[in-house]
A and B are shown apart, each in its own frame.
Chain A
Amino acid sequence: AQSVTQLGSHVSVSEGALVLLRCNYSSSVPPYLFWYVQYPNQGLQLLLKYTSAATLVKGINGFEAEFKKSETSFHLTKPSAHMSDAAEYFCAVSEGTGGFKTIFGAGTRLFVKA
């Protein structure tokens, strides 16, 4: 069964600093991987997804993630944090084509300090 582990329930960075949110997954088949962002009192919004094309995936708002099969990781990065990046971020894993179930990690709340 698939599972997702997000390392760190809270991450704090200074404005302008590198953002790194860690995600490791387990899957018995090549997975689809996703990062979602949730702003307060809102639903989740898709940031980016990996679906077996390029291993470095670029998303919205300057975020990107790299799929590393050997490390079973899909960490999310952004070179320079902005105050507006403060939110909760969820990593998720799905089965391959034709599947309808996505497993979400517990989430990492990102704080950005001025």
Chain B
Amino acid sequence: NAGVTQTPKFQVLKTGQSMTLQCAQDMNHNSMYWYRQDPGMGLRLIYYSASEGTTDKGEVPNGYNVSRLNKREFSLRLESAAPSQTSVYFCASSYRGVEYGYTFGSGTRLTVV
């Protein structure tokens, strides 16, 4: 039972480089989310996809784009990485709305130098 799978687990980028974080879930969940975790700040929502074909901004969307490729996959793209985007990124999914609670991936630790 894989749950939510994120790749890569670690990444170092130089300022200005781009990259895409991949996320896939195998639980037939409808909704998917991208969060970033910074020390002392909890988790902050970057983007979410309520259902296949839809995406919406969260609390901190600037500098990011997302694609809901199909029901299983939800990717996060950094077009021009900045040191302020150094963080741990978590993908999560839920059956439908937030009342079901989230299943999280194991995270991607990103460092921008």
Interface residues of A (CB under 8 A from B): 4, 9, 32, 34, 36, 41-46, 49, 51, 90, 94-102, 104-107
Chain A, interface SS category: loop
Can you list 23 A-B contacts with CB-CB less than 8 angstroms, sorted by A residue number? A34-B101, A41-B107, A43-B4, A43-B105, A43-B106, A43-B107, A44-B102, A49-B99, A90-B43, A94-B98, A94-B99, A97-B99, A99-B98, A99-B99, A101-B45, A101-B48, A102-B98, A102-B102, A104-B42, A104-B44, A106-B41, A106-B42, A107-B40
A97: which B residues are within 8 A, CB to CB? 97, 99
- Most B-side CB within 10 Å, residue of A41, A100, A107: A100
B-side interface residues, number (CB < 8 Å): 27
B90 at the interface (CB under 8 A from A): yes
| Bound Cα distance from A44 to B99, whole angstroms | 16
